[in-house]
Amino acid sequence: MNNILSIKKLKKKYHTLNGEILAIKNISLDVNEGEIIGIVGSSGCGKSTLLNILADIDKDYSGQIIKKQIVSAYMLQSDALLPWLNVLDNACIGLKLMHKDNEDNINYVKNLLESFGLKNFIYEYPNNLSGGMKQRVALIRTLAIKPDIIFLDEPLSALDYVTRLTITDEIYAIIKKMKVTTILITHDIAECISFCDKVVVLSKRPAIIKNSYEIKLKNKTIPSLNRKDELFNYYYDLVWSDLDK
Amino acid sequence: MSQDQKKYLRKIKINKFIVLLIQLALIITFILMWEYLSTKEIINSFIFSSPSKIIKCLYDLYLNNNLLYHIWITLKEIIISFLLGFLIGFILAVIFYMIPILKKIFDPFLTLINSLPKVSLGPLLIIWLGANTSSIIVMSLLINTIVTLISIYNGLISTDEYKIKMFKTFKATKWQILFHLVIPHNKETIISSLKLNISMSLIGVIMGEFLVSKAGIGYLILYGTQVFNLNLVISGIILIMFISFIIYLLINTLEK
């Protein structure tokens, strides 16, 4: 597999009036093309900080991040849809900001919306959508710029449990269909194991990689069914014991 | 539409109608009581005037071609100071938002100016700018600009952090964030600052007219006080209320 992203000895400090806070101590990680990697850790351990660095939002770090000429996109915890724009305009906002909102790309987004069950909602406003639909639009907005890699920062944390399970399956289907390399950040171990090919466990702050596991379920299908796999509990216990230490 | 839905809509309509009816009844009762008490000399009609005297006073002013002239003078000053105050306040709010260090530098000065009773600057304005319209407009600007600046700035800085972050993930520039997100996100704040600005402009203009004017509603009120013509004073106050109400309605329409 082709290596798409390489993180070497990443370190991140915050400066406050009371002194320095080390958020990330030492993280090295290789990400291969098409892989879905889950990063799990307790709240406040530095997961989102890591993602901000990978997505170029935070450029104040030491260490090395080697990226190929890739387009990356980021999906946040909140859907962050703009209430004054309709679904199509919301989904195209990234294209517009990057000056790529030509007819071909807009049609591409329309097709994405149609193929992911939003055909009848293209000209609706976010207020008229359910929480799950909003997250789908947010994902399509992320995918609209045709990224090589996407970063998902607890994208479903705002949803109720049942919607979350359904949407996890849908997002998984979309990502697999589009063969996009994905890094998912979550504190939900079950979500991480059922969704990802590889799970990386982070320690409490300052973050280091405690362990990483290739998830080899007996019958890997969609996330909601993966939770019923024989080996699911085995991986769950491994990750849980890492986090519990 | 189901019967229940129709019933629900009818209930809302009836509620609205009742509120309007009570409001009208209160106004009419107030006017009639005022007229009655004044005519029967239960209250001193010289000090408290009466609705009929006010109508007569306004009609006399109209006949002398003075009424519309005074209204126009005040309205013109309000419009100029309202537009200037909003524009300056808005531009400063945006500059402070884009360059946060400027806000930090100017913050104590803004607090100082905001807490200063502006009327105390009146004599200085007259000396610096002369006893003319400029003094009135500057007096109004001193009052409305800072209020506009503070309310819009507070709106801009409270823009949803997640949405800003979402824009940054698409490598948006500061200007793109401003024009595509921050300003549209604060449409309601901007409109409510317009409402605030209009009442501040009105206060400023009337205050300014009290100090230096030769015409306008403030002048009418001041003149009425000097010659002890309280019909004129109360007529002036009613005119101000009326103008303020009309402008408020216009902004509400704009909001919709």
Q: Which residues of A touch B160 (CB under 8 A)?
A: 78, 80
CATH label, A3-70+148-244, candidates 3.40.50.300, 1.20.1530.20, 3.20.20.80, 1.10.8.870 = 3.40.50.300
Q: Which residue of A has its CA nearest to B174?
A: A97
Is pLDDT at A82 greater than 70 in this prediction?
A: yes
Q: Any idea where the domains of chain A sit in the sequence?
A: 3-70+148-244, 82-146
Average pLDDT over residues A76-81: 89
Query: Per CB distance under 8 Å, which residues of A are interface residues toward B?
Result: 55-57, 73-74, 76-78, 80, 82, 84, 93-94, 96-98, 145
Of B162, B172, B185, the CB nearest to A78: B162
Q: What is the pLDDT of residue B212?
A: 85
- Chain A residue numbers with beta carbons less than 8 Å from the beta carbon of B191 are none
Q: How far apart are the CA of B161 and the nearest CA of chain A, in angstroms?
A: 9
Q: Do B180 and A96 touch (CB under 8 A)?
A: yes
pLDDT(A30) > 70: yes
Give pLDDT, residue B61: 86
User: Hey, what's the torsion of the CAs at A50, A56, A62, A67, to 10 degrees?
Assistant: 100
* Residues of chain A positioned with their CB less than 8 A from the CB of B190: none
Q: Write down the pLDDT at residue B54.
A: 92
pLDDT of the residue at A1: 63
The list of chain B residues with pLDDT below 50 reads none
Contact call for residues A187 and A42 (beta carbons, < 8 A): yes
pLDDT for A222: 87
Pairing of strands A36-40, A198-202: parallel
Banded pLDDT at A2 (limits 50, 70, 90): confident
* Site of tokens 């839905």: B5
Number of cross-chain residue pairs from A and B with Cβ atoms under 8 Å apart: 41
Pair of tokens at residue B48: 């408290």
Residues 6+ away with beta carbon under 8 Å from B162: A76, A77, A78, A80
CB-CB neighbors (< 8 A) of A57 in chain B? 165, 168-169
Q: Where are the alpha helices (DSSP H) in chain A?
A: 47-54, 87-91, 93-97, 103-115, 131-143, 161-178, 189-195, 223-226, 232-244
- Chain A, nearest residue to B170 by Cα: A94
Q: Please compute the mean of the pLDDT values over residues A41-65 and round it to a whole number.
A: 88
Residues 6 or more apart whose CB falls under 8 angstroms from that of A76 comprise: A138, A153, A155, B162, B165, B166, B169
Q: Which residues of A touch B171 (CB under 8 A)?
A: 56, 97-98
**B169, B178, B189: best to mutate for the A interface, most A CBs within 10 A:** B169
As for the ipTM of the complex, it is: 0.85
